[in-house]
Amino acid sequence: MTKIIFIVCDGLGDRPIPEFKSKTPLEAAKTPNLDFLAKNGITGTLNTTWHDKKPESDTAHLLLFGYDLNRYYTGRGPFEVAGLDMKTQPGDICFRTNVATIDENLKIIDRRAGRINNTAEFAKLFNNSVNNKVKFLLKKGTAYRLGLIMRGKKLSANITQNDPKKVGVKVLKVKAQDNKPETKFTADVLNSFLKIAHEKLKNLPSNKKRVKQGKFPANYFLVRGAGIYPKIPSFEKKYGLKAVCIAGAGLYKGIGKILGMFTPGVQGATGLPDSNLKAKVKKVFSLYKNYGFFFVHFKAADSLGEDGNFKDKKRFIEKIDRAIKPFLSLKKAILVITSDHSTPCELKTHSTDPIPILIYNKKIKADKVNKFSEKECANGKLGHFKASLLIPKILSFFNT
Ligand code: ZN
């Protein structure tokens, strides 16, 4: 039975950094295991852009898994919501949500409320609240995130977001993107909910305390990625491989669940730099017999890149390198190590810079690349290719 271990190091790719003698965090990191796999495997670079836009994690993963976004993608919200085990119903509109900090003029001070690490209080406060006969369901997500569902008659997901994705500017009004009455109604009800939520959040004792302590209060909900739950073929149906998703952060568990992958919880897997990566690797071994495809997601290189924190990004890459060591002893597995996009520290956001990839198997004829890095992999045998070709490429390569 084919065994593919498919490791996605989110936001791995980067650009040279002067403080690292003009190396990227991946180049500067000590990664003997990744380098062994690159040296004894084949390498290349890929990209995950859709409509030539800056890659987002959800669409980038669907492209890595070979799904046609024009056909199946309805927005990010459903993946976030599925990852939090929120039950959906037909007609529900799902959103990804952050708590943020805004000032009295509704200008954004911090899009993640100082990366506050628990939103349970805010979710509880508004879960099951009703506005204009529309029910709002909220659940806490990883760190500053929440899942949000609007449930009611005749709602539409064809609305804009209220997140300008910049600090120092006013939050946006949610707008209808077509002329249908249900779309305008959805936007109006959501705007009303967001306004009421802001008033309540800003007066919460815990937020007043945060202000006194010089911290950012979580006084606003930023909502993005409105979407209805998609109809999408499972990974197993598409490739004939029973699949597992091993992830800590909600979005990736949601992607796994929507693609029909078994998505077990892993003790200590947080999606944060402190995540227990070794426990994730152990989980693969415990399920190894019964599945063919193991999607293993390591998140924090992305968030550290978004923070411009190149030292900790380098450290996290070293932590990945140590964690994956047990995979080197597998005799038949095909190991794939790549990312969904680059998150250069100098940009503090995702970019279209090519992503390194390596494929390793004990029987594979290696190319001449000796190190797993952005620059080295550009010389690899796989060349530069579109992410959507990756899984068919792996399957044809090994004639599975
Ligand atoms: Zn990502």
Listed in order, the ranges of the chain carrying CATH 3.40.720.10 are 4-72+232-398
pLDDT band at 19 (very low <50, low <70, confident <90, very high): confident
Q: What's the CA gap between 168 and 174, in Å, rounded?
A: 18
pLDDT score recorded for residue 143: 87
* Ligand 1 centroid to residue 210 C-alpha, Å: 30
Q: What is the largest CA-CA distance in the chain?
A: 64
pLDDT band at 230 (very low <50, low <70, confident <90, very high): confident
Query: What are the pLDDT digits (tens) for 152-187?
Result: 999 999 999 999 999 999 999 999 999 999 999 999
pLDDT score recorded for residue 192: 98
Q: In whole angstroms, how far apart are CA 322 and each of 32, 96, 247, 300, 375?
A: 9, 32, 17, 15, 22
Query: What are the pLDDT digits (tens) for 204-223?
Result: 999 999 999 999 999 999 99
Q: Which residues contact 356 (CB under 8 A, 6 or more apart)?
A: 12, 13, 26, 43, 44, 45, 338, 339, 372, 373, 374, 376, 377, 378
pLDDT at 361 over 60: yes
pLDDT at 398 over 90: no
**Contact between residue 176 and residue 161 where contact means Cβ atoms under 8 Å apart:** no
Instruction: Return the amino acid letter for 216.
Output: F
* Ligand 1 centroid to residue 43 C-alpha, Å: 20
* Ligand 1 centroid to residue 33 C-alpha, Å: 23
Query: What are the pLDDT digits (tens) for 61-99?
Result: 999 999 999 999 999 999 999 999 998 888 899 999 999
* Ligand 1 centroid to residue 225 C-alpha, Å: 15
Mean per-residue pLDDT, 254-277:
95
Q: What's the CA gap between 29 and 27, in Å, rounded?
A: 6
* Ligand 1 centroid to residue 78 C-alpha, Å: 16
pLDDT score recorded for residue 250: 86
Q: What is the mean pLDDT of the chain?
A: 95
* Ligand 1 centroid to residue 47 C-alpha, Å: 12
Q: What's the CA gap between 100 and 116, in Å, rounded?
A: 9
* Ligand 1 centroid to residue 129 C-alpha, Å: 32
* Ligand 1 centroid to residue 49 C-alpha, Å: 12
* Ligand 1 centroid to residue 61 C-alpha, Å: 8
How far separated are the first and last CA of the chain, in Å rounded? 9
Look at phi and psi of residue 227 and say left if phi exceeds 0, alpha if psi is from -120 to 50, else beta.
Answer: beta
CATH, domain 4-72+232-398, list 2.40.160.40, 3.40.50.2300, 3.40.720.10, 2.40.37.10: 3.40.720.10
* Ligand 1 centroid to residue 53 C-alpha, Å: 14
Query: What are the pLDDT digits (tens) for 251-262?
Result: 999 999 999 999
Joined together, the tokens standing for residue 21 give: 């003698």
In this structure, of 87-91, 241-245, 298-302, the range with the lowest mean pLDDT score is 87-91
Burial-class residue 166 by CB neighbours within 10 Å (0-12, 13-18, 19+).
exposed
Joined together, the tokens standing for residue 146 give: 């929440």
pLDDT at 399 over 80: no
**Contact between residue 190 and residue 198 where contact means Cβ atoms under 8 Å apart:** no
Joined together, the tokens standing for residue 268 give: 């200590």
Crossing angle between the packed helical segments 32-40 and 310-323, to the nearest 10 degrees: 60
Q: What's the CA gap between 357 and 343, in Å, rounded?
A: 15
What b/e sequence results for 117-140 when a residue is b if at least 16 CB atoms lie within 10 Å of its CB, and e otherwise?
Answer: eebeebbeebbeeebeebebbbbb
Strand 129-131 and strand 134-140: the pairing is: antiparallel
pLDDT band at 51 (very low <50, low <70, confident <90, very high): confident
Mean per-residue pLDDT, 240-246:
97
Alpha helices in the chain (DSSP H): 25-28, 32-40, 57-64, 69-72, 77-83, 120-126, 181-202, 205-212, 235-239, 250-258, 277-287, 300-306, 310-323, 374-377, 390-397
* Ligand 1 centroid to residue 393 C-alpha, Å: 22
pLDDT at 17 over 90: yes
* Ligand 1 centroid to residue 264 C-alpha, Å: 20
pLDDT at 400 over 70: no
* Ligand 1 centroid to residue 58 C-alpha, Å: 7
Q: In whole angstroms, how far apart are CA 46 and each of 242, 243, 305, 337?
A: 25, 23, 19, 12
* Ligand 1 centroid to residue 212 C-alpha, Å: 34
Instruction: Return the amino acid letter for 116.
Output: I
Nearest-5° Cα angle at 392, 336 to 51: 95
pLDDT band at 22 (very low <50, low <70, confident <90, very high): very high
Q: What is the pTM of this model?
A: 0.86
Joined together, the tokens standing for residue 305 give: 């890149």
Our measurement of the distance from residue 74's CA atom to the centroid of its chain's CA atoms, rounded to an integer in Å, reads 16
* Ligand 1 centroid to residue 262 C-alpha, Å: 21
Strand ranges across the sheet with 355-360? 243-246, 293-298, 4-9, 334-338, 355-360, 42-47, 384-386
* Ligand 1 centroid to residue 135 C-alpha, Å: 31
